[in-house]
Structure 1
Amino acid sequence: MVRLHEIWIRFYKSFNFDYELKASPKAKPRPWQDSPEGWLPHVKIPIEPDVTAVVGANESGKSHLLDAIKIVLTGEGLRQRDFCRSSALFSVERGSRLFPEVGATFHLDAADRSASEGLAIPLLRNGDLLMLRPAPGVIHVVDADDQPISLAADQVEGLTSLLPVPRELRTDLALPDSVSINALAKGKTKLATRKQRGWIMSLLEGIATVEDVNSKAAAMVDMLGNGDALPEAQRLGMDLLLKVARIEESSFDELRKAIAEEREGLVNGLIQEMNRSIARHLNVSRWWSQDPDFQLRVSPREHELVFTIRDRTGTDYSFSERSRGLQYFLSYYVQLLSQAPADDRPEILLMDEPDAYLSASGQQDLLRVLEHHARPDDSDREDQVIYVTHSPFLINRNAGHRVRVVDKGTRDEGTRVVKDATRNHYEPLRTSLGAFVAETAFIGGDNLFVEGIADQVMLAGMNSRLLRAGRPPSQCLDLNEVTIVPGGASIPYMVYLARGRDQIKPACVVLLDGDSAGQTARKQLRSAGPYKKPIIDEKLVVVLSEWADSADLQVTQGVVIRETEDLVPVQVAVAAGQRYARTFLGLDELEAKKLTEGAVTALLADNDGSLWDALAAAFSQVFGTSISKAGFAKELLAYLAYSEEDRQRPHGVPALDQNFAALLQHLAETLRNAGEREAEARRNQRLTRIIKAFEDDFPEGCIRDRALVLLHSIDAAADDTSAGDLIKAHTASMRRTYKLATSPRENIDDYAQFLVELRRTRYLERLSQQGDPAAQSLGASAKAGSGS
């Protein structure tokens, strides 16, 4: 398959040329980038093989990038009027008007490379294809000598058949409230909308004489004549039912007739089967995390099917009663499912600011949908997704390398790509959103508290690195769900604020250094809370030195692990220190190399085995100034990224990866444990409130129907976990034991025992873990019922 690897843009809309590269003394002019003004290099935007997020301020050129990609892939839309107006080459004179230039580099697999060679299409030395569109209908490719070669008509046709297919999702189109049954049944669209039918009805109501008919006939004929223009939203609703849910058109014709003939039994049966098809093929609840029991359904009206939402309470709502964002989320999802991709060509999905109508949670749900579309877990197909956004919630914080930051320069500079924007994990947010968005702005959800910014940067960066290297996600932090919060000396107070006084408390884990400051924080966490109670459970406090005692680590001889920097082998630490000297002090490479491994290891004993203190002392001795922890962390990640790009694996890097992989896995497991504790606490609180209210209302007895309502409420409060399954299995057993489904108006027999079983609901998970036979039997039946 052909993969889009880079986009090249010059003189297109807000893109002028790469003025930074033009000004670089190390730049090498390329023949294919010549212009009437000499060498003017294209702006190059790297594209990821799966998902690329383009961020930037308003008018920075994000949408222009999507337009350029469509032109590259289709050849359509290249116009002189789109020539960059800030360019010195922009002209209105005869013979001086030029076209913008767009192009792309593609990675080819063996089959595509063979096909290209069969068409005699030149390739670059590394086997990639660099294609340019300098004018409409013209394609140039760059050969191994950097020379542009014009392709003949048959070569253009052959190459075009290999290129990926662009597909644009409409981000301004919501799923409709209803769909015409007549349009679904036969494709006829006359009077397909309520508005059209309402207009006709109001027209007919004013008719009393033949003259009235004649006076309004022209307007009626005009309305009927325009009936074939079906609104786009209606077509999207039809795609949902016909293409996604796979409902046969004849079923809608049968439904239309059944409604007209008032055959209510058949109408209900058809609607029930249609809703089953929607649930089976749409499966929205997998992606819409705000309600795991969410269902999209249809309800019949006289002339249309109305879309409704059923939530976990079993209640149906119309779209107008739910958030607007849900309609747009469903629209994006239906658009993805309703169009079958080409079998023989990859697809590039383009989206322009899909965050406009979605909440933060909805954006996170959409991000998961896009990830799945690029690399589905139920198919071998791999496509690419490119979207532009303003929102930090549509940026996958586990994959900062996917972010492309565009920025508009001053005067004639045009749009540029911010270099190395993702080297610092949070830099894209600061650069593109025009504000400092620190992690502490997002305290909530799951939180990992660390002592300093250096810990935050290093853990986030190493987490992303290990995920890219193929580390299982379960052994890393999910930075879309976990917030890394640097607290410093204020960690106890910040943990107290995060867990707060609310009923619902976020899951929190604290990572402390093994030095005196860490021990002081630990003591405060144990006893500084209200009434001298612990702020957080001791098991959720990870002291690095204590964890290291039982971990399988590779550390530099003489180093005693107390802080995260001690997990860095001295070879890598020195390389990062040298980069810091070059970047911050402006030294050349020879001067920077005066910082040596020997100088650092020689100072370990004098600094009580602290790698950081030894490195800082050696740095001060060599360069006469200090080194900062945050700067060191950033340069460490930059060094690792640089060595990765050069396909090097320097000595010490495998040990570094192993050490941080062990730490991150332990933190991920601890966070999961914290989350499970909070989920159990919230579940128990909900159950306690429900059961206590019932006991207060019915202390002596109640009818079976009221008990059924109670057990339904308990099922709704049980979450989608093994503990929740245990609770649901218990309530099902109670329904059978006390015969609640029969004679609903009779009182419950043995009401005292019923209350005992009801109170037992809160302790089922604990009893099962303690080996209680009855609870374990319920657990086995719950597993059997779920098919696990």
Structure 2
Amino acid sequence: MRIREVWVRFYKSFNFDYELKATPGSKAKPWQQLEDGWMPHVRVPIEPDITAVVGANESGKTHLLDAIRIALTGEGLLQRDFCRSSSLFSVEHGSRLYPEVGLTLTPSEGEASVLRDNNIPVRKNGDLLMLRPAPGVTAVVGSDEERVDLTSTQAAALQALMPHPHELKTEVALPDSVSISALAHDGSRFRSRSERKRLLDIISSFTSTNDVTANAASLVPSDLEDTEAAAQQLGVDLLVGVARIEESSFQELQKAIAEEREGLVNGLIQEMNNSIARHLNVSRWWTQDPEFQLRVSPREHELVFTIRDRTGTDYSFTERSRGLRYFLSYYVQLLAHDRPAELPEVLLMDEPDAYLSASGQQDLLRVLEHQARPDDSDREDQVIYVTHSPFLINRNAGHRVRVVDKGARDEGTRLVKDATRNHYEPLRTSLGAFVAETAFIGGDNLFVEGISDQVLLAGMNARLLRLGTPPSQCLDLNQVTIVHGGSNVPYMLYLARGRDQIKPACAVLVDGDDAGQTMRKQIRRGGAHGKPTVSDDLIIDLAEWAAAASLTVTDGVRVREPEDLVPVSVAVAAARRYARNFLGLDETSYKILTEDSVTNLISDKDGSLWDALAAAFRTAFDTEIGKAGFAKELLAYLTDSEADGGPRPPGVPALDSHFGALLLKLTDTLTLARERENDARRDQRLERIIDTFTADHPIGCTRDRAAVVLKRIDAAVDDTFAGDVIHAGTTRLRREFKLATEPLKNVDDYAGFLEQLKNLRHLERLNHQGVV
């Protein structure tokens, strides 16, 4: 079974859904009635894969995780957790109540059969609504809206079908070292190096047996603190559970260290590191260093974890960021955990962003995606985590966000409806940033003219991803920031790319009108020293692109701005929603705006759909329509049109097709920009290394120094075709100038060596030309 919805009432910060109770026309459910009247549960929808619960501090995020765990297990429901801001909170005899939590679950066909066999009622749509009203009590709500307490046999049958909750310990980091005794299971108590030093100092001070007796208490090892014990266990899980190293190997290592058999120790450690690299594969997820390796080094009583980066240098954990340790902790916990084979699992995480950088949080998002839907199995599990970091929100999937907010006095925690459609308040308060506007996550930027362009592109991008468009054909909004700059786009491009040596990849979408052409000219002339900030093929002129694309736009429309890609039937439906919501018009009034009233004006407006729509709107309602508001209502209309599961309304297939083609063009252009920046950065590294070397050694050097500079060049280039060509060039230089022999001898034909060294930067182009 999979969780569809969480029901919470009177649990900790959750009171009841006071907004629903105050909504005109809302109907009371008989199974939610109490002596004090109707008190509906707070309901939080859960996505089938990943749900991100966002809220400010003390908003009730963690309490929601606790409620889910209690609902899944039936354990931990306590009277002391009854909402203290509730009018029903009491200390009197006979008046103390329990909080109530529950879940809406969707059973599979086999699970539905088990429910029928045990006469467990379900809703009309086949879902199961299960409640935990008191310890040891399980109730369900049937199709007749009546609450039914299950018998012990029914409750046991239902519990056997429940998803398995697994909580990640977000406060536990991977330890600096792990005890070899613990790995070898020799029965010894763990003692850290500082503890062993303390004991040695005490023993060294003994001069008689009386000293031993007097200090006996200080020689007895104390129990580890819970966090330290959990960290040690995590280290054991990494080496035994993940790396699959046999216990006897640690016993052999322990014996070899004691007997000072250094050759055997080195051999065992090397194989252990090979196993870690083979099974951990952390470089797949830690994008900040693709050559990252986690290794172990032996000490007398423990294995010390070290990190080897792209330079080939080993560091201890204390020399690297705390974020890396915690990222490794989360990753190892997930790998070491054995998921139940027959049941789905719900992973619960409480603020895993606490110690991670923005990039680390993005890496963790990718790990969670894999956890929910692994690419190497058919499992489909659910992940629910709470955060108040904008960097731990997948901007490609805004529908996963659930915003909770704590009301005043007795209102308690509430779910903010449609939070991702209005990302100002309280989402901004929860995150401390505008999610879509200013949370710069990646290094790639798409510049557009207006905020409506940003809203349309981001919204349609998320929609097409939900509809199954391959991610490679859409923007990755965790990597790409859509920046709206209006007439300031050329200057903003200069700020982004014109001043620093390391430049982000950028592309620009301009409208096909006069303002867009002026902007295009400014970009061509507006870079540092009169050079363009981006090349012309990284500027997408919407009119030029549309002329070459196969589009089925409304008759008479000339595509010059994104709104022109919207079929007139969809544009009118969105404009009517704008009139209904913003102007407060009823159905009869807003239907004055018709498709004919728009299409009749297209030719007068030089083929501009937006100008025709704005003029028709002004005539119908005697006011203006804003582009940003129209874009919001357009996306809301598309979402609502999918709610009933019926066919897409007229015009929507064409709309999806148009924006799908545009997003593919934008994605391809940004990919080109990114590849060029990577090439430029590689070339800059080569230039810097080669120029520095030639300046330091203009007339000669030893073969050893020449070999070192070639090693630096090999480390500077990436794992690409160009990198392979350069690696081949450095190998040829080593062989031709005999750098591996007699390292203290000077390089023969040093002028020839320098010439070939300088030519390394041109090898890729020469290879493409067939010269080398």
Instruction: Tell me the residue number matched to 1:486.
Output: 484
User: Deviations 1:111-147 (Å, cap 9, x if unpaired)?
Assistant: 1111211221111111111111111111111111111
Determine the C-alpha separation between the residues in 1 that align with 2:406 and 2:721: 52
Determine the C-alpha separation between the residues in 2 that align with 1:426 and 1:715: 48
Moved more, 713-722 or 725-734: 725-734
Determine the C-alpha separation between the residues in 2 that align with 1:46 and 1:69: 12
**Secondary structure in 2 aligned to 1:231?**
helix
Q: Give the AA of the match of 1:511.
A: L
Residues 595 and 542 of structure 1: CA distance in aligned 2, closer, same or farther (over 3 Å): same
Residues 645 and 725 of structure 1: CA distance in aligned 2, closer, same or farther (over 3 Å): farther
User: Deviations 1:592-649 (Å, cap 9, x if unpaired)?
Assistant: 2221111111111111111111111111111111110000000001111111122231
**Secondary structure in 2 aligned to 1:606?**
coil
Q: Give the AA of the match of 1:704.
A: R
Say if 2:21 and 2:40, in contact at 8 Å, map to a contact too. Answer: yes
- 1:241 aligned residue (232, 239, 246): 239
Residues 376 and 261 of structure 1: CA distance in aligned 2, closer, same or farther (over 3 Å): same
Per the TM alignment, residue 50 of structure 1 is displaced from its structure 2 partner at its CA by 0.7
Task: Give 5+ residue unaligned stretches, structure 2.
Answer: none
Instruction: Tell me the residue number matched to 2:689.
Output: 690
1:349 aligns with 2:347: yes
**Secondary structure in 1 aligned to 2:619?**
helix
Q: Identity across aligned pairs (percent)?
A: 68
Per the TM alignment, residue 587 of structure 1 is displaced from its structure 2 partner at its CA by 1.1
Residues 489 and 126 of structure 1: CA distance in aligned 2, closer, same or farther (over 3 Å): same
Q: Give the AA of the match of 1:299.
A: S
- 1:285 aligned residue (280, 283, 286): 283
Residues 359 and 215 of structure 1: CA distance in aligned 2, closer, same or farther (over 3 Å): same
User: Deviations 1:46-81 (Å, cap 9, x if unpaired)?
Assistant: 101111100011111000000000000001111111
Moved more, 588-597 or 130-139: 588-597
Per the TM alignment, residue 686 of structure 1 is displaced from its structure 2 partner at its CA by 0.6
Per the TM alignment, residue 426 of structure 1 is displaced from its structure 2 partner at its CA by 7.0
Moved more, 534-543 or 279-288: 534-543
Per the TM alignment, residue 223 of structure 1 is displaced from its structure 2 partner at its CA by 2.3
Determine the C-alpha separation between the residues in 1 that align with 2:404 and 2:724: 48
Determine the C-alpha separation between the residues in 1 that align with 2:177 and 2:156: 43
- 2:252 aligned residue (248, 251, 254): 254
Per the TM alignment, residue 537 of structure 1 is displaced from its structure 2 partner at its CA by 1.0
Q: Give the AA of the match of 1:478.
A: D
1:498 aligns with 2:496: yes
Task: Give 5+ residue unaligned stretches, structure 1.
Answer: 775-788
Determine the C-alpha separation between the residues in 1 that align with 2:227 and 2:80: 32
Residues 193 and 596 of structure 1: CA distance in aligned 2, closer, same or farther (over 3 Å): same
User: Deviations 1:85-131 (Å, cap 9, x if unpaired)?
Assistant: 11121112222211111000111121111121122111111111111
Instruction: Tell me the residue number matched to 1:536.
Output: 534
Per the TM alignment, residue 444 of structure 1 is displaced from its structure 2 partner at its CA by 6.2
Say if 1:294 and 1:312, in contact at 8 Å, map to a contact too. Answer: yes
- 2:365 aligned residue (361, 364, 367): 367
Instruction: Tell me the residue number matched to 1:111.
Output: 110
Determine the C-alpha separation between the residues in 2 that align with 1:347 and 1:438: 31
Say if 1:190 and 1:228, in contact at 8 Å, map to a contact too. Answer: no
Q: Give the AA of the match of 2:254.
A: R
Say if 1:12 and 1:100, in contact at 8 Å, map to a contact too. Answer: yes
1:4 aligns with 2:9: no
User: Deviations 1:280-320 (Å, cap 9, x if unpaired)?
Assistant: 01111111111111110011111111110101111101011
Instruction: Tell me the residue number matched to 2:294.
Output: 296
Instruction: Tell me the residue number matched to 2:130.
Output: 131
Determine the C-alpha separation between the residues in 2 that align with 1:595 and 1:637: 19
Q: Give the AA of the match of 2:163.
A: P
Instruction: Tell me the residue number matched to 1:405.
Output: 403
Residues 757 and 573 of structure 1: CA distance in aligned 2, closer, same or farther (over 3 Å): same
Per the TM alignment, residue 737 of structure 1 is displaced from its structure 2 partner at its CA by 4.0
Determine the C-alpha separation between the residues in 2 that align with 1:328 and 1:211: 47
Determine the C-alpha separation between the residues in 1 that align with 2:763 and 2:239: 42
Say if 1:425 and 1:461, in contact at 8 Å, map to a contact too. Answer: no
Q: Give the AA of the match of 1:45.
A: V
Q: Please show how residues 53-92 of structure 1 align to structure 2 within 5 Å.
A: 53-92=52-91
Q: Tell me the matched-pair count.
A: 771
Q: Give the AA of the match of 1:390.
A: H
Say if 1:619 and 1:627, in contact at 8 Å, map to a contact too. Answer: yes
Residues 227 and 673 of structure 1: CA distance in aligned 2, closer, same or farther (over 3 Å): closer
Per the TM alignment, residue 192 of structure 1 is displaced from its structure 2 partner at its CA by 3.1
Determine the C-alpha separation between the residues in 1 that align with 2:467 and 2:334: 29
Per the TM alignment, residue 724 of structure 1 is displaced from its structure 2 partner at its CA by 2.4
Q: Please show how residues 113-262 of structure 1 align to structure 2 within 5 Å.
A: 113-220=112-219, 222-223=220-221, 231-262=229-260
Instruction: Tell me the residue number matched to 1:93.
Output: 92
Per the TM alignment, residue 682 of structure 1 is displaced from its structure 2 partner at its CA by 0.9
1:618 aligns with 2:616: yes
Say if 2:512 and 2:560, in contact at 8 Å, map to a contact too. Answer: yes
Per the TM alignment, residue 443 of structure 1 is displaced from its structure 2 partner at its CA by 8.1
Say if 1:83 and 1:100, in contact at 8 Å, map to a contact too. Answer: yes
1:455 aligns with 2:420: no
Determine the C-alpha separation between the residues in 1 that align with 2:225 and 2:334: 28
Instruction: Tell me the residue number matched to 1:745.
Output: 744
1:571 aligns with 2:561: no
Instruction: Tell me the residue number matched to 2:265.
Output: 267
User: Deviations 1:524-568 (Å, cap 9, x if unpaired)?
Assistant: 111133333222211111110011010121211111100000000
Per the TM alignment, residue 424 of structure 1 is displaced from its structure 2 partner at its CA by 4.3
User: Deviations 1:139-179 (Å, cap 9, x if unpaired)?
Assistant: 11111111111111111111111111100011111111011
Q: Please show how residues 317-716 of structure 1 align to structure 2 within 5 Å.
A: 317-424=315-422, 429-436=427-434, 439-440=437-438, 442=440, 445-648=443-646, 649-716=648-715
Per the TM alignment, residue 380 of structure 1 is displaced from its structure 2 partner at its CA by 1.0
Per the TM alignment, residue 228 of structure 1 is displaced from its structure 2 partner at its CA by 12
Residues 242 and 676 of structure 1: CA distance in aligned 2, closer, same or farther (over 3 Å): same
Q: Give the AA of the match of 2:79.
A: Q
Per the TM alignment, residue 760 of structure 1 is displaced from its structure 2 partner at its CA by 2.6
Say if 2:100 and 2:133, in contact at 8 Å, map to a contact too. Answer: yes
Q: Give the AA of the match of 1:119.
A: N
Q: TM-score, normalised by structure 1?
A: 0.95
Residues 716 and 229 of structure 1: CA distance in aligned 2, closer, same or farther (over 3 Å): closer
Determine the C-alpha separation between the residues in 2 that align with 1:629 and 1:182: 68
**Secondary structure in 1 aligned to 2:420?**
coil
Moved more, 534-543 or 504-513: 534-543
Say if 1:595 and 1:622, in contact at 8 Å, map to a contact too. Answer: yes
Residues 20 and 724 of structure 1: CA distance in aligned 2, closer, same or farther (over 3 Å): same
Q: Give the AA of the match of 1:734.
A: L
Say if 2:441 and 2:478, in contact at 8 Å, map to a contact too. Answer: no
Residues 741 and 558 of structure 1: CA distance in aligned 2, closer, same or farther (over 3 Å): same
Q: Give the AA of the match of 1:328.
A: Y
Q: What is the aligned-residue RMSD (CA, Å)?
A: 1.8
Q: Give the AA of the match of 2:259.
A: E
Determine the C-alpha separation between the residues in 2 that align with 1:227 and 1:663: 57
Residues 345 and 441 of structure 1: CA distance in aligned 2, closer, same or farther (over 3 Å): closer
Instruction: Tell me the residue number matched to 1:310.
Output: 308
Residues 413 and 293 of structure 1: CA distance in aligned 2, closer, same or farther (over 3 Å): same
Q: Give the AA of the match of 2:111.
A: D
Moved more, 546-555 or 752-761: 752-761
Say if 2:455 and 2:628, in contact at 8 Å, map to a contact too. Answer: yes
Say if 2:563 and 2:610, in contact at 8 Å, map to a contact too. Answer: yes
Determine the C-alpha separation between the residues in 1 that align with 2:693 and 2:684: 14
Q: Give the AA of the match of 1:587.
A: L
**Secondary structure in 1 aligned to 2:297?**
strand
Per the TM alignment, residue 214 of structure 1 is displaced from its structure 2 partner at its CA by 1.7
